Amino acid sequence: MERAIDPTQTSWVKVAPDSDFPIQNLPFGIFRHDGAAPRVGIAIGEFVLDLHALNLHGFLSSFDIPFSVTENHYMNSLISLGKQKTSSLRLHIADLLSKDNTTLQGIPDVYGKFLLPMLQVDMLLPVQVGDYTDFYSSEVHATNVGKMFRPDNPLLPNWKHIPVGYHGRSSSIIVSGEHFHRPKGQIMPAGSEAPIFSASQQMDFELEMAFITFDGPALGQPIEIEATDAYIFGMVLFNDWSARDIQKWEYVPLGPFLGKNFASSVSPWVVTMDALEPFRVPGPVQDPPVLEYLRFKGDKHLDIDLEVYITPKDGAPTLVSHSNFKHMYWNMNQQLAHQTVNGCNIKSGDMYGSGTISAPSEDGYGSMLELTWRGEKPLTLADGSTRKFLEDYDEVTIKGYCRKGDLRIGFGAVSSTVLPAK
C-alpha cells in the first residue's frame, strides 16, 4: 500500500498536475463504452483503464478473478473478494501504470484496447446498493437545524452519545448525471389547519459523503470498532436531496420518509480507503466521553475539501459552500461499530451516508436550509438571481479532493438537475 501512495511515483499515462486521478488514487468504477456490456474500470488521469480487457488478456491471471466479476453491471462481486485481494489488485495496477513498467506501455494499441478517454465512456452506478443508512453526524448541522426549530434546546439529549441514523431507500440512489423530478407529497402550509397535496416548494441539497462496505460477519456478530477499517472499501460523494416542506410535516414520530426517498445522487468513482490513508487527521474532542464500544484509537477523520456549486438553466455555476469532511463529530468507524453493535449484518455494496457536512463558518454550511436560514437570507447567484431553495432546472454539483503537498487525491464530481414535477 505504501508503494501505491508514494507521492513521488509517476505514470507513463499523462496526468495533469491538478487531476483528481493520479497514479496514487486509482479509484474503481463501472463504465460502458461503445455498446459493450458494463465492466469495471480504474481512473487514471483523463483515461479509464479497462479491467475486463486486462483480465481477458491475462494481465490479472495471478488473481484468478472470474470474467463475470470484471464484466458486470455492478462492483459488488469485486468488492466481495475482500480487502486483501482488492488492495493487492490496486497495487498491481499501480505497478502496471508506473513510469518504468513496460508491460502495458509497450503495447502499440494500448490506447483504445486498454485505456479509453473518459469523455467517451458512460459512467454507471458503481454498486447495487442493498442497504443504505444515512447518519446525522455533523454537530454544526445538527445544532443549526435545532436552533431553527428548538432554539432553547438545539441538540437532543442523545446526540452526543449515539451516531444517529435512519435506514434510507436504496432503490432511488442514482449516479451523477441522472436527473430527477421535483417530488410531490403532503405539505402543511403556514397558518393552515389541514395539509395539502403539492409539489415541494423547498427543494434542498445536502452535502454528504458515503462509504461502501465489504461483506461483514454473520447476522448476530457485531464488528468491534478496532476491526471496522477492514470492512470499509471506499468512499463516494453523496447528495442527499431533501424536500424540506414534505419532511417537516411527516418526520414526527418516525423520521424521514417521502421528503428523502425520491433521489440521492452519488459520484461514479469509488476512492479506496488505501488511497485516503495519507489524509487521516484527528477529529473533534467528543465530550462527554462516549461508551466503550465507540472508543477508537488513532486518527479516524479525513481531511477532504468539499465544494458545492449551483448552476441555473443557461447560467454559470456559483460556489455556494466550501466545507470539509474533517468537521464531522462522529467518524465512519464509530458509525459502522454502532450500525452493527446489535448484531446487524452488512454486505458488499452497502452504502452509509455521512449526514450533512457543515463547516463552522456560514459559507461552509452544507444545505440550503442553513445557507439561507430557512429562506430568510436568500443566496445571490452569479447571474444575479436569488435562491431561498432550489428552483426547477437548477443543477447542483459537489466536488471533493484531498491535498497534501504536491499529492492530490480527488473524487471527481456528483451532479444532478432538479426537473419540474410530473
pLDDT band at 325 (very low <50, low <70, confident <90, very high): very high
CB 25 within 8 A of CB 5: no
Q: Is residue 16 part of a domain?
A: no
Q: Is residue 13 part of a domain?
A: no
Q: Is residue 108 part of a domain?
A: yes
Q: Is residue 397 part of a domain?
A: yes
Of residues 141, 301, 327, 338, which has the active-site annotation? 141
Domain match, 42 and 149 both = no
What is the model's pLDDT at position 4? Answer: 77
Domain match, 280 and 210 both = yes
Residue 242 CA to residue 145 CA, distance in Å, equals 14
Domain match, 117 and 195 both = no
- What does the pLDDT look like over 342-372, one tens digit per residue? 999 999 999 999 999 999 999 999 999 999 9
Residue that finishes a domain, picked among 70, 92, 124:
124
Q: Quick one: average pLDDT of 409-415?
A: 98
For the sheet with 180-181, list strands across it.
180-181, 407-419, 395-404, 305-311, 318-324
What is the model's pLDDT at position 153? Answer: 85
What is the model's pLDDT at position 1? Answer: 61
Residue 55 CA to residue 57 CA, distance in Å, equals 5
Residue 408 CA to residue 21 CA, distance in Å, equals 8
Q: Quick one: average pLDDT of 108-134?
A: 97
- What does the pLDDT look like over 239-296, one tens digit per residue? 999 999 999 999 999 999 999 999 999 999 999 999 999 999 999 999 999 999 999 9
Specify the CATH number for the domain of residue 320. Answer: 3.90.850.10
Domain match, 104 and 213 both = no
Domain match, 240 and 188 both = yes
Domain match, 166 and 203 both = yes
Q: Quick one: average pLDDT of 39-57?
A: 98
Q: What is the DSSP letter of 296?
A: -
- What does the pLDDT look like over 186-214, one tens digit per residue? 999 999 999 999 999 999 999 999 999 99
Domain match, 114 and 167 both = no
Residue that finishes a domain, picked among 62, 97, 124:
124
Q: Which three cell numbers stand for residue 138?
A: 455533523
Per-residue pLDDT at 379 exceeds 70? yes
Find the domain containing 361 and state its range: 132-419
Specify the CATH number for the domain of residue 92. Answer: 2.30.30.230
Q: Is residue 197 part of a domain?
A: yes
Give the SS3 label for residue 32: strand
Domain match, 385 and 401 both = yes
Domain match, 111 and 150 both = no
Q: Is 141 annotated as catalytic?
A: yes
Q: Is residue 6 part of a domain?
A: no
Q: Which three cell numbers stand for residue 386?
A: 436569488
Domain match, 55 and 119 both = yes
The mean predicted confidence, pLDDT, of the chain is 97
Q: Quick one: average pLDDT of 42-46?
A: 98
Q: Is residue 14 part of a domain?
A: no
Domain match, 103 and 143 both = no
Per-residue pLDDT at 3 exceeds 80? no
Number of domains in the chain: 2
Give the SS3 label for residue 336: helix
Q: Quick one: average pLDDT of 135-140?
A: 98
Q: Is residue 136 part of a domain?
A: yes
CB 302 within 8 A of CB 178: no
Residue that finishes a domain, picked among 124, 142, 172:
124
Handedness of CA 86, 240, 219, 77 (dihedral sign): negative
Residue 125 CA to residue 230 CA, distance in Å, equals 23
